[in-house]
Amino acid sequence: MSQRSDSTGDEISIDALDVPLGSEIEARLRAQLLDCPDLAFAHLTQVTVAGQPGGSQPSLFVWLLPEGVASLRSALNLVSEAVARALSEDTYLDVLILNSAPELLRPVADTGAPFVVRDDAEWQRAIEAADVADDGTEPEQRPRFRWW
């Protein structure tokens, strides 16, 4: 479990899923995500905001390849399509981009093995870079992600 406190003192934790989505759904989701061309890897976790009703939800952290970051809208649409095909109508999964907050990669990775790895070299590169960057620098002092 990884716990973080933000500037307002709210505690956020990133953990392995308490209740799995189910082997059939997870197999379907994995297969669909493996077909997303701009996806490098993804982690299926549970993000909890302390003290919030319904504050604990399954969340899919995705790391996009550089070409996916360059066309973020289209890359996210493909991920959304993959999730929608795998999940039932009434099941929701928060999809969160890891590229914009690489400092989250280590805590996310510590919850367990990646759910999907499409590009092993990118996975290795990203995790090594995250560990090197984890030098105590405050996130707000790190370079901003170029959303576009």
Looking at 1, 37, 92, 129, which residue binds another protein (CB under 8 A)? Answer: 92
Q: Which is nearer to another protein, 19 or 121 (CB)?
A: 19
Residue with tokens 């003290």: 51
CA distances in angstroms from 108 to 33, 41, 42, 83, 102, listed in the order given: 18, 12, 10, 19, 10
Whole-angstrom Cα Rg for the chain: 15
Report CA torsion sign: 32, 37, 41, 44.
Answer: negative
Query: Does residue 136 bind another protein (CB under 8 A)?
Result: no
Q: Which is nearer to another protein, 16 or 95 (CB)?
A: 95
Q: Work out the end-to-end distance of the chain between its first and last CA atoms, rounded to an integer number of angstroms.
A: 32
User: Do residues 118 and 40 touch, judged by C-beta distance below 8 A?
Assistant: yes
Looking at 18, 23, 24, 54, which residue binds another protein (CB under 8 A)? Answer: 54
Query: Does residue 147 bind another protein (CB under 8 A)?
Result: yes
CB 60 to another protein: min, Å: 8
CB 145 to another protein: min, Å: 6
- The residues that touch another protein, with contacts defined as CB under 8 A, are 4, 6, 10, 12, 47, 49, 52, 54-55, 57, 59, 62, 72-77, 79-81, 83-84, 92-98, 100-101, 104, 139, 144-145, 147-148
